Amino acid sequence: MKLILTAVIDGLGTPGDIVEVKAGYGRNFLIPQGFAMPWSPGGEKQIVAIKRARDAREIRDLGHAREVRDQLQALAIIVTAKAGDTGKLFGSVTNADVVAAVRKAGGPLLDKRSVEVHGIKTLGKHRAVVRVHPDVQATINLEVVTV
């Protein structure tokens, strides 16, 4: 079965790749989960759009990754969330919240899967790790404030 990937699948490929997989794997897992779509000649046009979007987000080389890391670490990132009187959040700060706050602070467009946030459930200062490149990680300082 020939498919066009729409997400990163370990051991298979990246968005925009055309892959050949067994029919059951494609029909029962990849397509229903939204990780792939059936290949068609019209789908080739969508591949171009997917690859263009991926290239816009992708880090070009190690030097560029270091520049992005320095830019991220220099930002003052403020995440807003609802909290109770004791300072505990109603829920927690998610990867998507951090990505939105970085973008709002004037930082680069990040993929939410590259952000690692662990257990931010209180107001105050916290840290998050962003995997900018396989060899480069940025540790960013967050301040969680109430809405």
At 119 the pLDDT is: 86
- Do the beta carbons of residue 130 and residue 95 sit within 8 Å? no
**What's the pLDDT score for residue 9?**
87
Amino acid at 21: V
| Contact criterion met (CB below 8 Å) for 39 and 4 | yes
**C-alpha span between 137 and 114 (Å, rounded):** 10
User: Phi then psi for 119, rounded to 5 degrees?
Assistant: 60, 45
pLDDT at 28: 96
Which fold would CATH assign to domain 2-57? Ribosomal Protein L9; domain 1 (3.40.5)
pTM across the whole model: 0.62
**What CATH number belongs to 62-146?**
3.10.430.100
**What pLDDT does residue 58 have?**
63
pLDDT mean values, one per 10 residues, the chain (147 residues): 88 87 95 91 77 67 84 92 93 93 89 88 94 87 92
**What does the domain layout of the chain look like in residue ranges?**
2-57, 62-146
